[in-house]
Structure 1
Amino acid sequence: MSAPEKLVIATRASRLALWQAHHAQSRLRALYPDCRVELLEMTTRGDQILDRTLSKVGGKGLFVKELETALLDGRADLAVHSLKDVPVDLTQPFALAAVLQRADPCDALVSNTAASLDDLPAGAVVGTSSLRREAQLRARYPQLLVKPLRGNLDTRLAKLDRGDYAAIVLAAAGLQRLGLSERIRSVLPVDLSLPAAGQGALGIETLASRTDLRSWLEPLVCRETTACVLAERAVSRALGGSCQVPLAAYAVLHADELFLRGLVAEPDGSRVLRAQARGAADQAEALGESVARDLLGQGADAILARLSSTDA
């Protein structure tokens, strides 16, 4: 197949999203030096609605819908996303064409007063944008006051710096990508804050019909990361995962074996269900479904049903 002549990347206009799009752009330009690779910057509903948590306004899909419209009407060929923002039930006419090598998948603590969560006094306010982080923080640190935190990364840091929060918890990868690693006081171990499915990985979405794009993107695909996130997203998919559910899934690959951990929790942290399993990398989705069944067997279905009815 001949090399592409022009590719347009749809991206959110936030600083982090633009870093991600420029990263994909540079990779594609390196592969195809004669190709014009352009960015189409867009503002999504997820960027516009900042006074409510994602779980109250429709979930992570709010960050991808406008980009998908650009794919449908031909204004863009591909969209670059933080993979944890891509709904796990992605269906026709869209496809996840490539998963790039993962950066740090962990959560990070940012604070101007404390080097770790253990250093925070009782009643200290900790901000986070996800129910997943909130539930795990509440379970381990019931003495802390966990509150919602919306806005792009710079907005969240500004809220911390003006004293609205004693500490905030963010994805480590976002801080590192924007050259803000010095703001990280500690990286939270996965047994304290199990990451979201796909956290730290970049995904490229296209129309499923664009087999030409899939071929052009093939050199960007990271096999190890793809296997891990397939397992993680399978856990989330089997449990109907969304922003409304405190749900985590994280896999690592050793040789050809995946080690997958999953978690479902009550939002207040009063109950945290955990499951784990090992399996072959080429059976990633089956492994994810197995971990999901384990969680359901422990009672995750009751938690999920109650949260779904509450949000309905």
Structure 2
Amino acid sequence: MAAATMMRSPALLADAPAAPVAAVERRTSSAVAMRPRRGPHFGEVSEGSFFGQSVKSFGQASGSRSAAKRSVGLNVEAAATFETQTKVALVRIGTRGSPLALAQAYQTRDKLKAAHPELAEEGALEIVIIKTTGDKILSQPLADIGGKGLFTKEIDDALLNGDIDIAVHSMKDVPTYLPEGTILPCNLPREDVRDAFICPNYSSLAELPEGSVVGSASLRRQSQLLHKYPHLKVVNFRGNVQTRLRKLNEGTVQATLLALAGLKRLDMTEHITSILDVDDMLPAIAQGAIGIACRTGDTKMEEYLASLNHEDTRLAISCERAFLAKLDGSCRTPIAGLAQRTEDGCSFRGLVATTDGKEVLETSRKGSFSYDDMIALAQDAGQELISRAGPDFFKW
């Protein structure tokens, strides 16, 4: 098992930093920036507090442009980003309310400020928190909830309704077909695509004793893990990063796997035991990538977002999503894929599996690092796996 060892703490969260949150403070003047507090362990993180931002109900938010829009029944809260309540924001940024989602929204905000001087002015940008179906239903595995866009639909609805101007998404959550009336012109530079192994007592998956319980809500991780380590047990393990680390510390499971990108964005890499090589755990489609959507025809937002786009990331993500679209697997089908730039062009690897890990089908392709060639090779890879798998493979 190839793993880049990081660090390992016997008391995983004994000296862990508290989630980067600050107490909510309602003010009529500008919100005050607060340094994230450090604490003894991770607790539940409320959606109404993060990085010292003032949180108001959607109806009170600066930049709410229509009373009618405020009555549509969206479960929306506005987080004012260092601006007064009286100024109408030039750009309202829609996001989920988890600490990771907010970290991605603030990264977007900071890049917009740096690229466009008018957006650096006080009150020009506003964060709007929107609760999605995936956030509301935590007691069931995601595969059992069913449907597409569990973490994006309500945000896209708010975009189409004009309640926000841009929507920040984790690209792995975005369905292969965007809602009519929206476009996604921007991918920020991709973070590390690998998965991290976190365990208080063992340094790698290979060391876990027979019957050890690993927590994961990802069928992709479950299938690959059971394929290599059939003596382990995988249980559903949902919640934000902080919640999962707390459950791990409480002994609910012996180990868990998390996306390295999220841990980096939350500045929580000290909890990593080891990093899994992509040869051992192929990542999710678009893992580590942030996508930003706007309404079709909103030329001003398109202009803002185009200035932030990272083209290599966009091409790699497009390739992976073309592979996913070709397979058209259900939410119960473990699928993984990774496109990377190489010295010679593009390298792509794809995988489909059964949830029990007993059958894993892999393929790979190489080609030029250009949009048309990358889409073609991804579709060809997908068709190969469809042919090899047979008609019943995707009916899980």
Within a 5 Å distance, the mapping from 1:255-266 to structure 2 comes to 255=343, 257-266=345-354
Supply the AA of the counterpart residue of 1:139.
H
> Is residue 215 from structure 1 mapped to residue 303 from structure 2 by the alignment?
yes
| Aligned equivalent of 2:388 | 298
Residue in structure 2 matched with residue 196 of structure 1 by the alignment? 284
Aligned partner letter, 1:7:
V
Is the Cα–Cα contact under 8 Å of residues 168 and 292 in structure 2 kept in the other structure? yes
- Cα 1:300–1:254 shift into 2, 3 Å: farther
CA contact (8 A) 1:101 1:225 kept: yes
Q: 1:165 to 1:140 in 2, by over 3 A?
A: same
2:129 aligned to which of 41, 49, 54 = 41
Distance in 1 separating the partners of 2:393 and 2:98: 34
Per-residue CA distance 1:173-208 (angstroms, 9 max, x = gap): 111111110111111111111001100010001122
Q: How many residues were matched structurally?
A: 302
Q: Does 1:29 align with 2:113?
A: yes
Q: Aligned partners of 1:165, 1:110: CA distance in 2, in Å?
A: 11
1:14 aligns with 2:98: yes
Q: Distance in 1 between matches of 2:126 and 2:343?
A: 38
CA 1:176–1:60: 2 relative to 1, 3 Å: farther
Q: Which amino acid aligns with 1:214?
A: E
Q: 1:89 aligns with which of 177, 194, 197?
A: 177
Look up the equivalent residue of 2:109 and give its one-letter code. Q
The DSSP-based 3-state class of the residue aligned with 2:246 is: helix
My pick for the range that moved more, 73-82 or 134-143, is 73-82
1:214, 1:80 → 2: CA distance? 14
For 1:177, the equivalent position in structure 2 comes to: 265
Counterpart Cα distance in 2 of 1:156 and 1:167: 10
1:301 offset after TM fit, Å?
A: 4.1
Flag the structure with more relative contact order, 1 or 2, with Cα contacts below 8 A and sequence separation at least 6.
1
- One of 310, 321, 336 as aligned partner of 1:248: 336
- Give how far 1:217 is off: 1.1
What is the CA distance between 1:49 and its match in structure 2? 0.5
Aligned equivalents of 1:187 and 1:301: distance in 2? Answer: 35
1:56 matched to 2:144: yes
- Could you tell which deviates more after superposition, 56-65 or 66-75? 56-65
Comparing both structures, which one devotes a greater share of its residues to strand?
A: 1
SS at match of 2:163: coil
Give TM-score, length-normalised by structure 1: 0.93
- Greater helix content: 1
Distance 2:267 2:287 in 1: 18
State the TM-score, normalized to the length of structure 2: 0.74
2:364 pairs, out of 276, 297, 307, with: 276
Counterparts of 1:207 and 1:249 in 2: how far apart (Å)? Answer: 28
The 3 A distance-change label for structure 1 pair 60 and 125 is farther
Equivalent residue of 1:274, what SS?
A: strand
1:38 CA drift (Å): 1.0
Structure 1 match to 2:38: none
How far off its partner does 1:241 sit? Answer: 3.8
Distance 1:59 1:248, change over 3 A: farther
Deviation string 1:90-146 (CA, Å, 9 cap, x unpaired) is 242222121110001011111111111011100000011110110000000000011
Matched, 1:142 2:230: yes
Question: Are 1:166 and 2:254 an aligned pair?
Answer: yes
Two-structure CA RMSD over aligned residues (Å): 1.4
Q: Distance in 1 between matches of 2:173 and 2:341?
A: 22
- 1:41-82 deviation line (CA, Å, top 9, x unaligned): 121111110111111112551111111111011111111111
Secondary structure class of the residue paired with 1:264 = strand
**Is the Cα contact below 8 Å between 2:156 and 2:179 reproduced in 1?**
no
Identity of aligned residues (%): 41
1:166–1:59 CA distance, 2 compared to 1 (3 A): farther
Match of 1:310 in 2: none
User: Is the 1:130–1:243 Cα contact (8 Å) retained in structure 2?
Assistant: no
How much has 1:213 moved relative to structure 2? Answer: 1.8
Whether the 8 Å CA contact 1:46–1:60 is kept in 2: the answer is no
Instruction: Return the alpha-carbon distance in structure 2 between the equivalents of residues 277 and 170 of structure 1.
Output: 27
Cα separation, partners in 2 of 1:286 and 1:211, compared to 1, 3 Å: farther
> Within 1, Cα distance between the matches of 2:390 and 2:326?
11
1:152 deviates by 1.1
Query: 2:299, 2:285 → 1: CA distance?
Result: 26
1:289 aligns with 2:373: no
Secondary structure of the 1:303 match is: coil
> What residue number does 2:160 align with?
72
Q: 1:214, CA displacement in angstroms?
A: 1.8
Query: 1:96 and 1:300 mapped to 2: Cα distance?
Result: 33
Mark the runs of 5 or more structure 1 residues left unpaired by the alignment. 308-312
Distance 1:73 1:91, change over 3 A: closer
Which residue does the alignment assign to 2:32? none
Residue 300 (structure 1) shift: 5.4
